Amino acid sequence: MSLLPRLKLPCLAWMRDYDRDTLAGDLVAAAIVTIMLIPQSLAYALLAGVPAEMGLYATMLPLVTYALLGTSRTLSVGPVAVISLMTATAVGDVVATTGADYISATIALALLSGLILMAMGLLRFGFLVNFLSHPVVAGFITASAIIIALGQFRHLLGVDAQGDTVLELGASLGAAVADTNNVTLALGLLALGMLLLARRLQPLLQAWGLGPRMADLLCKASPVLVVFLTTALAWRFSLQDSGVALVGAVPRGLPVLRIPALDPLLWRELADSALLIAIIGYVESVSVGKTLAAKRRQRIDADQELIGLGAANVTSALSGGIPVTGGFSRSVVNYDAGAVTPAASLFAAGGMALAALLLTPLLYFLPKATLAAVIIVAVVGLVDFSHLRRAWGYSRGDFAAIATTLVLTLVAGVEVGVLCGVFASLALHLYETSRPHMAVVGEVPGTEHFRNVERHQVITHRGIVSLRVDESLYFANASYIEDAIYTLVSRDPCLRHVVLMCPAVNAIDLSALEVLEEVNERLQEAGISLHLSEVKGPVMDCLNKTDFLKRLSGEVFLSQHQAIASLSCSQPAQSRTLISAF
């Protein structure tokens, strides 16, 4: 039942109450997003290594599909930098090994990752993405941004250079730098300079008397203005004759829907990359979607998001586009510009359709160096080493996860980097829970509280040792805890009672239960009783299903205080000792 496809249309909810105020907000947001999307969609197609129109095609049907099926009200779906980089890497590899057609492989990749996302949504496998930790994502995004920016230098210099890692790119660029085309470089630096300047222009424009809204709009439109300016320069001075690479002929009009070629061999080669792109795209998208939804007390449905994003990728493939996801910067712009409902995305899709119908002839003279500048400016903001510093101060494990992902992504490529990052973060987590914090505890004088004997001056009783385990008991730490108990026992020949204090034990698995049974038996043979205290309800429910509690040589106490009160009475009267160390 729960496995059956759930055909939900989240759009029905917002369409019902749609009114004129909402329309105004959505229209303004759509206009601004469209202006951002035009250069970005072309640039990210270039980054993915495919003709510019494939970027445009990925901004129409996918936006409509997500608007109807997605649960975020303000997410802006379309081509994004990191996914385009991953696409270029994956398709490049497959083309090199199988000789497949580059464009067909890109479309197949979009289709495949869309189908994977939809399948994950229908099977409710969305929880899988939880295993991609923040440190891994942070390290991955920073490293990807560096690779992307470095990769664009070839367009700025007007040279040939290839590579999936910083090492390859660095070597390739170093070898090619002598062939730099100076006109291209000048044009690229001009575009880069204007884009960087525009980011700092807003206060200046406001100082000149423009309204803050107008100033903001002008800054957001700066990439379009730079595109127009450099295109005009290239056209006016016939810069292609000076060796400046241009976008060239872009087919005019809307995409034609076409079922992509179903090539099983190609699919098998692309499957791993498609899964990775699906997961990374989903994580990026859902994190921004959640943030924006929470601001308005709205909710994101993770499984429905998978279906929405998956369908967006499938329709991108059907219309000949590249893989898409919810982009961070455009979604924030969409939200800030006043988008209230996904209708804003419907209007933006309409805007992009108009652009494809009217503006494509103008794109012939658009220099690739301009698009490279647009990409560099877009990704430079993603490079963020503060995560590294922060993780270093917080925990070595998190730092190791970021550093592993960052370094391996840079030197071994995006796929190796993210996979090793996930593996490292899981391994570190398991390692830490396999050596849990444990403390021998004693009673804080005059209270019913029990604290670590190493940290506090507490009362302990001869013949009784109380051990608090700060972790669930499971196979990976069971023998570590067993060792700790046997060590305590072997140190004190007078020992009569061991109390295991369990307020932080959230579960006991079968391996740990067997170890406890073994410990109980061994201690009993040595004349020592094993007791439990402060066992949680769900854990007690589990233990009650077995005969462990019947065979337990000691008792189960509701509180540690009761345990000590009861056991210290039953002991022959002995002086209380104040000990200060384990």
What are the backbone dihedrals phi and psi of residue 479, each rounded to the nearest 5 degrees, phi first? -80, -25
Residue span 495-534 as binding mask against its own copies, x where in contact by CB under 8 A, dash where not: --------xx-xx-xxx-xxx--xx--x--xx--------
The b/e string for 412-438 (b: 16+ C-beta within 10 A; e otherwise) is: ebbbebbbbbbebbeebeeeeeeebeb
Of 76-105, binders to its own copies (CB under 8 A) are none
To the nearest whole angstrom, how small is the minimum distance from the Cβ of residue 549 to its own copies? 13
- Separation of alpha carbons 183 and 307, rounded Å: 47
Per DSSP, the three-state class of 491 is helix
Cβ closest to its own copies, residue 20 vs residue 297: 297
- From the list 190-198, 254-262, 536-544, 549-557, the region that binds its own copies by CB under 8 A is 536-544
Region of 165-173, 233-241, 293-301, 331-339 interacting with its own copies (CB under 8 A): 293-301
State the minimum distance, in angstroms, from the CB of residue 84 to its own copies: 26
Please answer whether residues 567 and 464 qualify as being in contact, where contact means their C-beta atoms are separated by less than 8 angstroms: yes
| Three-state DSSP class for residue 327 | coil
Q: What is the DSSP pairing of strand 438-443 with strand 464-469? A: antiparallel
- Beta-ladder partners of 367: 246
Which bin fits 468, alpha (ψ -120 to 50), beta or left (φ > 0)?
A: beta
To its own copies, the closest distance from the beta carbon of 263 in angstroms equals: 30
Please give the span between the terminal C-alpha atoms of the chain, in angstroms, as a whole number. Answer: 55
- Per-residue string for binding with its own copies, 387-416, x by CB under 8 A? ---xx-xxx-xx------------------
Task: For the CB of residue 530, give the shortest distance to its own copies in the complex, in Å.
Answer: 13
User: Whose Cβ is closer to its own copies: residue 298's or residue 553's?
Assistant: 298
Region 118-137 residues binding its own copies, contact defined as CB under 8 A? 127, 130-135
Q: Which is nearer to its own copies, 95 or 279 (CB)?
A: 279
The correct pick among 433, 553, 566, 571 for binding its own copies (CB under 8 A) is 433
- Give yes or no for residue 425 binding its own copies (CB under 8 A): yes
Give bridge partners of residue 556 from the DSSP assignment: 532
Whether 224 contacts 345, CB under 8 Å: no
> Considering the complex, what minimum distance in angstroms separates the CB of residue 113 from its own copies?
21
Closer residue to its own copies (CB): 234 or 519 = 519
553 binds its own copies (CB under 8 A): no
Buried b (16+ CB within 10 A) or exposed e, 323-360: bbbbbbbbbebbbebbbbbbbbbbbbbebbbebbeebb
Are 286 and 305 within 8 A, CB to CB?
yes
* Residues in 335-394 that interact with its own copies by CB under 8 A: 390-391, 393-394
Torsional sign, CA 379, 380, 386, 388:
positive
Closest distance to its own copies from the beta carbon of 327 (Å): 19
* Closer residue to its own copies (CB): 8 or 451: 451
Mark 171-183 as b/e (b = at least 16 C-beta within 10 Å): ebbeebeeeebeb
Q: Which is nearer to its own copies, 237 or 394 (CB)?
A: 394
User: Helix crossing, 134-157 with 81-98: angle to 10°?
Assistant: 70
CA proximity to 344, closest of 353, 354, 335: 335
| Binding-site size, its own copies (CB under 8 A) | 72
Which one, 457 or 546, has the nearer CB to its own copies?
546
Choosing from 6, 437, 551, 576, the residue that interacts with its own copies (CB under 8 A) is 437
Which DSSP string corresponds to 203-248? HHHHHTT--HHHHHHHHHTHHHHHHHHHHHHHHHTTGGGGT--B--
Do 495 and 462 touch, CB atoms closer than 8 A? no
Radius of gyration of the chain (CA): 31
Q: How far apart are CA 353 and CA 347, in angstroms?
A: 10
Judged by CB, which is closer to its own copies: 179, or 470?
470
The helix or strand, by DSSP H or E, that contains position 424, with its residue range, turns out to be helix 414-434
Nearer to its own copies, 294 or 358 (CB): 294
Closer to its own copies by CB, 507 or 565: give it: 507
Q: Between residues 237 and 582, which has the closer beta carbon with respect to its own copies?
A: 582
- Residue 447 sits in the site that holds its own copies (CB under 8 A): no
Binding positions for its own copies, 454-483, rule CB under 8 A: 455, 470-472, 474-480, 482-483
Q: Which of 291, 553, 562, 571 binds its own copies (CB under 8 A)?
A: 291
> Which residue from 162, 182, 457, 487 is in contact with its own copies, where contact means CB under 8 A?
487
Q: Whole-number minimum distance, CB 394 to its own copies, in Å?
A: 5
The distance of closest approach from Cβ of residue 436 to its own copies in the complex, given in angstroms and rounded to an integer, is 7
Q: How far is the CB of 432 from its own copies (least distance, A)?
A: 7
- Tell me how far, at minimum, the Cβ of 81 lies from its own copies, in Å: 22
In the complex with its own copies, which residue's Cβ is closer, 174 or 538?
A: 538
